[in-house]
Structure 1
Amino acid sequence: MADFQANSRPFTELDRSGRTRRLRRLAEAALTAYDVPVARLTPLGHGLNTTFRVDGADGHRYVLRVQRPDGPGAAQVRSELAWLAALRRETGLVVPLPVPTRGRDLVTVVADPAVPEPRTCVLCHWVEGRFVDERLSAPQLYAVGEFTARLHLHGARMNGLDRGRVDDLTDFGRTQVDGFSAAVVDRAVALAGGDERIRETVARVRAVRAELGFGADVFGLVHGDLHQENYLFHRGRVRAVGFDGCGFGHYAYDLAVAHAALGRLPQREELREALLDGYRSVRPAAATTDPEVLDAFAALRDLQLRLR
């Protein structure tokens, strides 16, 4: 009886482990679309999206991502994977390599009676490496800066992809033509309990964006969430994962995320300078590394996370 009741409860009433169990069954169904012999499926995390490690009977490992229902749609997810495939094909950067379905699609959409909405699922090859946080070194951050700059050089060429903006203020803002419109800001202030300082942050970012402009030297496709949990190291090389939040924005936004995420580490000043030095080694004339620009986008990022 207990098992029946657990299986019949609405999805929204389940705790994290209960939802993951439901999504595991959906993930198993999604894997039938791929030519991958599955030996084991292990949950990795349940945040905005839910991910599973897939151990193949062929000795290879993969990551299956079950997309959240209120996130990017199937067409936008295909664009994300198209960028990843292009990065692997056209650069030396190591990022997740998408696995196509038997029908040669980059995504599969799966429904399960125990999950309220159909879910977009993607499969990528596992990226080897280790995440580093407290023990990050200046040479490692220099390499992250180089990697980020090369990523931006490639992102400048990807204008035709169907991805949104990374700098829209809120989820509501993403539905509007202007993610910083008066209506968006008014809603954000209300959501934050009437905090009028939000208007100051928005005005500051508006001014920075206007000064930078939107040319390919400062604006293009970016990772959108490049911090210590989304870059890793293998045999001295940087690799990046977590591209599900990628979109169009100023390169300074991407760099500001990486820069600000180092703030709680005792060696933060050394690491931040190494990050910027590495970036400038590839893009020496980039206005992207200006401290005032980075501070403005870091303030925006903090506000976005607060209003999420």
Structure 2
Amino acid sequence: MADFQANTRPFAELDRSGRTRRLRRLAEAALTAYAVPVARLTPLAHGQNTAFRVDGADGHRYVLRVQRPDGPGVAQVRAEMAWLATLRRETGLVVPQPVPTRARDLVTVVADPAVPEPRTCVLCHWVEGRFLDERLSAPQLYAVGEFTARLHLHGARMNGLDRRRVDDLTEFGRTQVDGFSATVVERAVAAAGGDERIRAAVARVRAVRAELGFGSDVFGLVHGDLHQGNYLLHRGRVHAIDFDDCGYGHYAYDLAVACAALAHLPHREELEEALLDGYRSVRPAAATTDPGVLAAFAGLRRVQLRLR
């Protein structure tokens, strides 16, 4: 192994395709933990995590996710998979269905000499559907709103999972007792080159969170990244994927993320209203869909994305 490592270019110096090739070998090793006969392994995406499509010799399709090293830890990924499994079992919502390993675990940790650290991997059944984005219609956004409300109804009951807060300011903030503490804010402002608008956005969302409170009617387990790249339409139904950022937060945060992601579309206002109408048809929650509340969380989301 030492000779192999000595003659291998450092992982951090590789381009995207080079890193994906290295991770493919690790993915192949991860798949040996599952009772899935693999016919083909195809790279899908290399972003924060790396995903591979797995075509099984049994005719089924799966997605293998190789976790980024600085992301959620093993216990947190296991909690994510536990929520997905419970959602599949207890609701009619279509979300990724985790595949257990031969050891009946929902995660596996794999090391490869060409990758600098062990990686947490999960395997889920393939979720059917199409990403529509600019072709999204108001009736489809209404269905997305209904889906989101049902997700939140279930998330309200999922207390105690090992998942972080989604609406803290930064990764550093999530390690602190108060994710909006003065220290967290000062570091965020400095990281943004002294932009004082961050301080104003934090003050606004802090006030909104205090006004909303943290009861199960407004706060619970949420998706955390519900933009149109993470939900699909299939035969008139909404399917959601990529729960990697799921965690505890105000339900309004999920809605703010979904609405903000529509900003580039010419019929944004119509789509946003359809989304919120669909949500209210299942959860008539005035506070969660209040325009001022949504604007505050949208401002927080912009800051979070800027500081990633």
- Normalising by the smaller structure, the TM-score range is over 0.9
Map of 2:53 onto structure 1: 53
Residue 33 (1) aligns with residue 33 (2): yes
Map of 1:42 onto structure 2: 42
Structure 1's consecutive aligned runs of 4 or more residues displaced over 4 angstroms after TM superposition are: 4-7
Map of 2:207 onto structure 1: 207
Map of 2:274 onto structure 1: 274
Mapping for residues 1-308 of structure 1, pairs under 5 Å: 8-308=8-308
| Residues 261 and 7 of structure 1, relative CA distance in 2, 3 Å threshold | farther
Give how far 1:286 is off: 3.7
Give how far 1:196 is off: 1.4
Q: Report the Cα distance in structure 2 between the residues aligned to 1:133 and 1:13, rounded to whole angstroms.
A: 34
Q: Report the Cα distance in structure 2 between the residues aligned to 1:232 and 1:297, rounded to whole angstroms.
A: 24
Q: Report the Cα distance in structure 2 between the residues aligned to 1:174 and 1:237, rounded to whole angstroms.
A: 34
Q: Is the 8 A contact 1:169 1:179 kept in 2?
A: yes
SS of corresponding position for 1:266 = coil
**Identity rate of aligned residues, in percent?**
88
Give how far 1:5 is off: 10
- The amino acid of 1:113's aligned partner reads P
Give how far 1:176 is off: 1.0
- The amino acid of 1:32's aligned partner reads T
Q: Report the Cα distance in structure 2 between the residues aligned to 1:7 and 1:282, rounded to whole angstroms.
A: 59
Q: Is the 8 A contact 1:155 1:222 kept in 2?
A: yes
Number of equivalenced pairs: 305
| Residues 95 and 176 of structure 1, relative CA distance in 2, 3 Å threshold | same
Q: Unaligned 5+ residue runs, structure 1?
A: none
Give how far 1:71 is off: 0.4
**CA-atom RMSD, angstroms?**
1.2
Give how far 1:112 is off: 0.5
SS of corresponding position for 1:238 = strand
- The amino acid of 1:198's aligned partner reads I
| Residues 61 and 190 of structure 1, relative CA distance in 2, 3 Å threshold | same
- The amino acid of 1:44's aligned partner reads L
Q: Is the 8 A contact 2:5 2:114 kept in 1?
A: no
SS of corresponding position for 1:87 = helix
- The amino acid of 1:14's aligned partner reads L
Give how far 1:9 is off: 0.7
Q: Is the 8 A contact 1:231 1:240 kept in 2?
A: yes
Q: Report the Cα distance in structure 1 between the residues aligned to 2:59 and 2:276, rounded to whole angstroms.
A: 39
Give how far 1:7 is off: 6.2
Give how far 1:285 is off: 3.0
Q: Report the Cα distance in structure 2 between the residues aligned to 1:276 and 1:23, rounded to whole angstroms.
A: 40
Q: Report the Cα distance in structure 2 between the residues aligned to 1:126 and 1:261, rounded to whole angstroms.
A: 24
Q: TM-score, normalised by structure 2?
A: 0.97
Q: Report the Cα distance in structure 2 between the residues aligned to 1:7 and 1:292, rounded to whole angstroms.
A: 57
Q: Report the Cα distance in structure 1 between the residues aligned to 2:129 and 2:53, rounded to whole angstroms.
A: 15
Give how far 1:174 is off: 1.4
Q: Report the Cα distance in structure 2 between the residues aligned to 1:142 and 1:246, rounded to whole angstroms.
A: 22
Q: Report the Cα distance in structure 1 between the residues aligned to 2:289 and 2:19, rounded to whole angstroms.
A: 41
Q: Is the 8 A contact 1:217 1:286 kept in 2?
A: no
SS of corresponding position for 2:168 = coil
| Residues 186 and 114 of structure 1, relative CA distance in 2, 3 Å threshold | same
Q: Report the Cα distance in structure 1 between the residues aligned to 2:154 and 2:72, rounded to whole angstroms.
A: 22
Q: TM-score, normalised by structure 1?
A: 0.97
Give how far 1:6 is off: 11
Q: Unaligned 5+ residue runs, structure 2?
A: none
